[in-house]
Amino acid sequence: MQIIFSVNNGQDSIKIPIPPTEVDVNSPQNNSTFNGINGDLNLIGNMGLRSFPLDGFFPNQKYPWLSESTSYNAWEYVEFFERYRKAKIPFRCFIIDNDRQILNMPCTIDDFNYKVKRNKDIGYTMMVREYRFGG
């Protein structure tokens, strides 16, 4: 599985170096229930915003099982997310599995937490939420 975040139509992008084994995407629908003459009825509503948590670590050293193209500067990953969050620029998240694109979603990073580990890798957690352009 590959997880890639990009901004400004691919002007800048970053690939999550160690993707999780699974991603649990929450896809709500804003349905409502009301009481009619014949009892409760379910009114189908608009789709809500999809979201999913993502956690792992950014490497600050070379691991033999990582791709040669992986950056080993953990701060590069943190700076990418912080730079565009502060600029209020939405991301686009791509999830690709076995050469099949399973998600292509404009998004925001609603919550981003990180900590430096003893070995200098940076552990992180983030909440990714769908972003809708315009009205």
pTM: 0.88
Domain range spanning residue 21? 2-27+43-130
Q: How far is CA 111 from the centre of its chain?
A: 10
Is residue 78 pLDDT above 70, yes or no? yes
Q: Is residue 119 part of a domain?
A: yes
Q: Is residue 37 part of a domain?
A: no
Q: Is residue 35 part of a domain?
A: no
Measuring CA to CA, which residue among 110, 77, 108, 111 is closest to residue 92?
Answer: 108
For every residue of the chain, which 3-state class applies, written as one string? CEEEEEECCCCEEEECCCCCCCCCCECCECCEEEEECCEEEEECCCECCCEEEEEEEECCCCCCCCCCCCCCCHHHHHHHHHHHHHCCCCEEEEEEECCEEEEEEEEEEEEEEEEECCCCCEEEEEEEEECCCCC
Q: How far is CA 101 from the centre of its chain?
A: 14
- Average of per-residue pLDDT across 87-111: 95
* 68-75, long-range: CB < 8 A, 24+ apart: 69/15, 70/15, 70/17, 71/17, 74/120, 74/121, 74/122, 75/122
Tokens for 101, please give them.
């694109």
Structural domain total, the chain: 1
Q: Is residue 57 part of a domain?
A: yes
Is residue 129 pLDDT above 90, yes or no? yes
pLDDT of residue 122: 97
Give per-residue pLDDT as tens, 45-69. Answer: 999 999 999 999 999 998 888 887 7
pLDDT of residue 135: 61
Q: Is residue 67 part of a domain?
A: yes
> Could you tell me what percent of the chain has a pLDDT over 90?
75
> Could you tell me what percent of the chain has a pLDDT over 70?
99
pLDDT of residue 115: 97
Q: Is residue 54 part of a domain?
A: yes
Give per-residue pLDDT as tens, 112-127. Answer: 999 999 999 999 999 9
Is residue 77 pLDDT above 80, yes or no? yes
Q: Is residue 120 part of a domain?
A: yes
- Average of per-residue pLDDT across 2-29: 93
Q: Is residue 61 part of a domain?
A: yes
